[in-house]
Amino acid sequence: MRVELADIISCENKEMSKQVEIELLSFDSKLGQFPVVKKAPFVMQFTNEENRRLLIQGETEVTIAIPCDRCLEEVEWNFPIVIEKEIDLTKSSEETAMDELSYMTGTSLDVDQLIFGEILVSWPMKVLCREDCKGICKRCGANLNLAECQCQKTELDPRMAAIQDIFSKFKEV
Ligand SMILES: [Zn+2]
Ligand SMILES: [Zn+2]
């Protein structure tokens, strides 16, 4: 969603609150595409401070489904978002200063682009469904949180593997 801020920018000390909505359905980055599973409308506050600064404030929460690094099960990751932006209004050409910001086009604010940037900077280094996630077996692909697989057993104890080998040969005879 876009919010037009020309009125505020041109009017000294003007303030405005506005309920905004996040239209983002998924978070698409170099890392992949992650569905947004929870978001809600929230109120943003815009303040022109003596024609010197434009303050943009707001608080919300976005939940995104991210696969666990080990077992690939989706984890609902919560992003608390606190927006505290200050745009300098004293630059000679105010539009140029604002166009440097990815979420501003002229005097129009792109809420989704702003939220995208906030999520990007707090993107987790590591996502685990639980601290002790056992991951998936590299050999058979089984989710080891759900059940142990046979390959795991033979890997754990090479002597057992040898015995199993003998048994299987024995059966073949
Ligand atoms: Zn996991
Ligand atoms: Zn396995």
Per-residue pLDDT tens digits for 134-158: 999 999 999 999 988 888 565 556 6
What's the pLDDT tens digit per position in 93-135? 555 566 678 899 889 999 999 999 999 999 999 999 999 999 9
- Is pLDDT of 80 > 80? yes
Ligand positioned closest to the Cα atom of 154: 2
**Cα(115) to centroid of ligand 1, in Å?**
27
Beta bridge partners of 82: 59
The rounded Å distance from CA 60 to ligand 1 centre is 27
Distance 22 CA to ligand 1 centre (A): 29
User: How much is the pTM?
Assistant: 0.80
Residue 156 is predicted with a pLDDT of 56
Average pLDDT in the 46-62 region? 97
User: What's the rounded Cα separation, in Å, for the pair 157 and 86?
Assistant: 61
Rounded to the nearest whole angstrom, what is the distance from the C-alpha of residue 148 to the centroid of ligand 2?
7
State the ligand closest to the CA atom of 138.
2
Residue 38 has pLDDT above 60, yes or no: yes
Mean pLDDT in residue range 18-25: 97
Say how far apart CA 96 and CA 5 lie, in whole Å. Answer: 15
All residues with CB under 5 Å from ion ligand 1: 68, 70-71, 129, 133
From CA 139, how far away is CA 151, in angstroms rounded?
7
- Residues paired with 43 in a beta bridge: 19
CA of 67 to the centre of ligand 2 (A): 20
- Confidence at residue 90, expressed as pLDDT on a 0 to 100 scale: 85
Backbone angles phi, psi at 80, to 5 degrees: -75, 130
Ligand closest to the CA atom of residue 128: 1
Average pLDDT, the chain: 88
